[in-house]
């Protein structure tokens, strides 16, 4: 009687003790309801315990967002703790960055005190190559009808793109984290995130730009601007939804200006990438050849007159 229930509820010690005290048949139905109630109670207790542990860890090790590093920074295990994610977790975080719902803080809901460096790093690398390759392809498509155009791979763009994107994805979170920590010191109510969590949010928020830059190959200006606005809204809202609850406690001007600067920098990145890598048709069209000889003639006559 008791053994199947024991097998079913082995992890709940209280339930097992209850069953062992009441091994009768009548207790089966009662015990299942008891066990289900106690299971829920237990799971609630477990959830509470976890959140307490999370808070304690966050208070103790601010720099690493609750991840107690194993070993010093010179050991390999220290860095391995930043890659403690599974495929499903990474996919879930990517989905969360693409579909920001109001009320769902990316850090609290998706990261859950397990920030990783895998996502930010590989999303940045992918974005670098996507932007460079798509820019090259879009130039090629625009110039395809032009007989004077000779295709070049424009490989230097990869270097430029990597510098810009990696600087953005690392310097901005560092400065934002520093700024928030300073405000946390000045105004006690302002909350803060750890450095890794900030880097993580910024890295995952860049994900939406990858399909956007691929779609930017299509050479219609109105489509490009529409796509850019959509991408900026989505990824900007991920950042705003994450940082507004933290900054809200600050004085009004500071809070609004902080969020405004975050959004402005993000838009600057998007617009800058678009302008540099994806030039429009009007920028590249060459001057018509008929005007050139006329200019040369006037110049030679001018020189002739001065020499004389």
Partner 1 sequence: MADDASKPFAGLADVSISEDIAVEGDISVPVGTSRRDEELSTLDEPVKETVLRDLRAVGNKFVHVLYPKRSSALLRDWDLWGPLLLCVTLALLLQGGATETQEQGGPQFAEVFVIVWVGSIVITLNSKLLGGTLSFFQSLCVLGYCIMPLTAALVVCRLVLLLANNAVSFAVRLLVVSASFGWSTFASTAFLVDSQPPNRKALVVYPVFLFYFVIGWIILTFSP
Q: Compute the least distance from the CB of residue 156 to partner 1, in Å.
A: 5
CA angle 54, 59, 65 (to 5 degrees): 65
User: From the CB of residue 75, how many other CB atoms can be counted at a distance below 10 Å?
Assistant: 11
The answer to whether 165 and 123 have CB atoms below 8 angstroms apart is no
Residue 144 as a binder of partner 1 (CB under 8 A): the answer is no
Of the two residues 78 and 244, which places its CB atom closer to partner 1 in the complex?
Answer: 78
* Nearest alpha carbon to residue 114 among 221, 194, 186: 194
Give the one residue of 64, 107, 127, 133 binding partner 1; rule: CB under 8 A: 133
Of the two residues 151 and 182, which places its CB atom closer to partner 1 in the complex?
Answer: 151
Give the one residue of 154, 237, 257, 279 binding partner 1; rule: CB under 8 A: 154
The answer to whether 231 and 98 have CB atoms below 8 angstroms apart is no
Site size toward partner 1 (CB under 8 A) is 24
Residue 156 as a binder of partner 1 (CB under 8 A): the answer is yes
Please tell me the distance from the alpha carbon of residue 215 to that of residue 76, in angstroms, as a whole number: 39
Residue 152 as a binder of partner 1 (CB under 8 A): the answer is yes
As to burial, measured by CB atoms within 10 angstroms (0-12 exposed, 13-18 middle, 19+ buried), residue 135 is buried
Q: For the chain, report the end-to-end CA distance as a whole number of angstroms.
A: 121
- What's 149's DSSP letter? -
Residue 136 as a binder of partner 1 (CB under 8 A): the answer is yes
What is the C-alpha radius of gyration for the chain, rounded to an integer number of angstroms?
29
Residue 147 as a binder of partner 1 (CB under 8 A): the answer is no
Of the two residues 122 and 225, which places its CB atom closer to partner 1 in the complex?
Answer: 122
User: Mask of contacts with partner 1, 112-131, x by CB under 8 A?
Assistant: ------x---x--xx--x--
Please tell me the distance from the alpha carbon of residue 25 to that of residue 31, in angstroms, as a whole number: 10
Sites for partner 1 among residues 50-89 (CB under 8 A): 76, 79-80, 82-83, 85-88
The size of the chain, in residues, is: 308
Q: Compute the least distance from the CB of residue 13 to partner 1, in Å.
A: 29
Residue 283 as a binder of partner 1 (CB under 8 A): the answer is no
Q: Compute the least distance from the CB of residue 110 to partner 1, in Å.
A: 16
* Nearest alpha carbon to residue 180 among 130, 102, 243: 243
Of the two residues 30 and 163, which places its CB atom closer to partner 1 in the complex?
Answer: 163
Residue 151 as a binder of partner 1 (CB under 8 A): the answer is yes
- What's 299's DSSP letter? H
Residues contributing to the site for partner 1 (CB under 8 A) = 76, 79-80, 82-83, 85-88, 90, 118, 122, 125-126, 129, 133, 136, 150-156
């Amino acid at each position: 009687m008791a053994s199947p229930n024991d097998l079913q509820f082995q992890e709940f010690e209280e339930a097992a003790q209850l069953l062992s005290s009441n091994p009768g048949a009548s207790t089966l139905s009662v015990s299942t309801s008891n066990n289900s109630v106690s299971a829920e109670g237990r799971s609630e207790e477990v959830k509470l315990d976890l959140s307490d542990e999370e808070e304690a860890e966050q208070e103790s090790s601010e720099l690493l967002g609750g991840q107690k590093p194993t070993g010093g920074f010179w050991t390999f295990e220290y860095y391995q703790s930043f890659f403690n994610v599974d495929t499903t977790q990474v996919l879930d975080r990517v989905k969360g960055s693409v579909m920001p719902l109001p009320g769902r803080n990316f850090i609290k809901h998706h990261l859950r005190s397990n920030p990783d460096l895998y996502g930010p790093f590989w999303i940045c690398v992918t974005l670098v190559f996507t932007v460079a390759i798509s820019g090259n392809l879009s130039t090629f498509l625009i110039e395809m009808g032009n007989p004077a155009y000779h295709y070049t791979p424009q490989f230097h763009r990869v270097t430029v793109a990597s510098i810009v994107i990696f600087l953005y994805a690392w310097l901005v979170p560092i400065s934002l984290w520093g700024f928030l920590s300073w405000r946390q010191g000045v105004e006690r109510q302002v909350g803060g995130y750890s450095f890794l969590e900030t880097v993580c949010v910024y890295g995952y928020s860049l994900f939406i730009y990858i399909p956007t830059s691929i779609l930017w190959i299509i050479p219609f200006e109105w489509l490009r601007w529409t796509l850019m606005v959509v991408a900026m809204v989505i990824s900007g809202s991920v950042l705003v939804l994450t940082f507004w609850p933290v900054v809200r406690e600050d004085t009004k001007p500071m809070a609004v200006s902080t969020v405004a600067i975050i959004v402005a920098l993000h838009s600057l990145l998007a617009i800058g990438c678009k302008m540099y890598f994806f030039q429009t048709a009007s920028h590249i069209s060459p001057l018509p050849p008929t005007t050139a000889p006329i200019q040369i003639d006037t110049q030679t006559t001018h020189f002739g007159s001065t020499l004389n």
